[in-house]
Amino acid sequence: ETGVTQTPRHLVMGMTNKKSLKCEQHLGHNAMYWYKQSAKKPLELMFVYSLEERVENNSVPSRFSPECPNSSHLFLHLHTLQPEDSALYLCASSQGQLASTDTQYFGPGTRLTVL
Amino acid sequence: AQTVTQSQPEMSVQEAETVTLSCTYDTSESDYYLFWYKQPPSRQMILVIRQEAYKQQNATENRFSVNFQKAAKSFSLKISDSQLGDAAMYFCAYRRRRDDKIIFGKGTRLHILP
């Protein structure tokens, strides 16, 4: 148990659906991240939030919309996705760059399938 | 731009033997961190070991140790006395000290042969 939880663990959706992924961290961290993990590709960083402010957006399509209402919660809102968006979506948290050493702790991921 | 390269997509090792996973990285920074993460099949990704670039001593965690060669920008992971539970995808990662972002390699899938 790393203190980072994600729901749902599995999600199947059609291209016209709207759904949201949720991440919660119980570690008192200040930074949270969304990653996309596809087969045979490196982990792709999507978004970084530090102290609830978005500090990184790696050219992610607008059909992915993050929300960070507080330092413990992170959402990824999905709408009009494409089949190529099917992947494992991982959430992570860390103390943030102000920490002298920093490690990211990962959640179990949400396996997303877009039909 | 920083990059992380893991040149071995898959490796196999006999149980109880030792295996070394390679990782090289490219950066112009002098102050950074390096990590090895483990992702077992259908399970959560967890940190295996971490190395701070300013430390010359190689990090060790029980059966896991690294060979950190800063000048060569190499950061290999050695697993001693391999166990079946070590079977997983292993990711090498880099983080610049003043950054929140971690850059991951493509991973090496390690198989443990009984």
Q: What is the pLDDT of residue A95?
A: 84
Higher pLDDT, A59 or A91: A91
Tens-place pLDDT, residues B3-38:
999 999 999 999 999 999 999 999 999 889 999 999
User: Are residues A101 and B91, on separate chains, in Cβ contact within 8 Å?
Assistant: no
* Tens digits of residue pLDDT in A78-104: 999 999 999 999 999 988 765 555 788
Contact B45 A106 (CB under 8 A): yes
Instruction: Give the rounded percent of residues in chain B with a pLDDT score beyond 70.
Output: 100
Compute the average pLDDT of residues A56-75: 90
With 80 as the cut, is the pLDDT of residue A107 above it?
A: yes
Our CA-based measurement puts residue B15 at a distance from the nearest CA of chain A, in whole angstroms, of: 26
Q: What pLDDT does residue A65 have? A: 94
Whether the CA torsion A103, B84, B113, B78 is positive or negative: it is positive
In chain A, the residue whose alpha carbon lies closest to the alpha carbon of B99 is A97
What pLDDT, in 10s, does the model give residues B57-105? 999 999 999 999 999 999 999 999 999 999 999 999 998 887 777 889 9
Q: pLDDT at position B44, please? A: 85
What six digits make up the tokens of A97? 């760059």
pLDDT recorded at residue A53: 79
pLDDT at B99: 74
Contacts of A102 in chain B (CB under 8 A): 33, 95, 100
Say yes or no to pLDDT of A3 above 80. Answer: yes
DSSP string over B42-99:
TS--EEEEEEETT--SPPEETTEEEEEETTTTEEEEEE-S--GGG-EEEEEEEEETT-
> What's residue A2's pLDDT?
54
Identify which of A43, A50, A90 has the shortest CB distance to residue B100: A50
Residue found under tokens 């950074």: B32
Q: State the best of B100, B102, B106, B109 to mutate against chain A, taking most chain A CBs within 10 Å.
A: B100
